[in-house]
Structure 1
Amino acid sequence: MENGKHIKIRMCVACRKRDRQDNLYRLQCKNGELVSFSGRGRSFYVCRECINSKKFINYISKLCNLTKNEAKEKLFHFPFYIKEKEFI
């Protein structure tokens, strides 16, 4: 605990590594699109190391009903390639 506060631990969907919540990206699939978490619906966490991993691409392709190539394309255009951690 830091200063008496509880540290929130979450798990990456790709590598299953547990880490602090503020070190992970929180995303969701909405209407077949990969978006940052809006506050409603189900979401998932992914760590920086797994963003380009095969496991994560397979995960989002199943979750968002996309082909693997479409999933790679969506990831390539996602904001964390431009400004890391600002979208959360």
Structure 2
Amino acid sequence: MGIALALLNNPQLLVLDEPTNGLDPFGIEELRKMIRTFAESGISVIISSHILSEVQKVADDIGIIYNGLLLYQDKIDANENLEQLFMDIVRKERES
């Protein structure tokens, strides 16, 4: 319902926070398709999520924010383990 309301004004940007939270597997699959159609129709979509495997299924680019700092930004590599990338980036930041 929240996504439908957000789309009423034909936004150029849509920000989704944990969009798959509480959905069953069919709902998650439908939402993934929907998010892709938003991007295809010219709506930029920002997804905030700690479920990185889910992000990898719908995103083209990622940014890793930690303690309010953008530590990483790049295209998604389909073969890369985003959880490991996140851990490596954050560990490096903690050590510095």
TM-score by length of 2: 0.22
Bigger relative contact order, structure 1 or 2, given CA contacts below 8 A and separation 6+? Answer: 1
Q: Which has the higher helix share?
A: 2
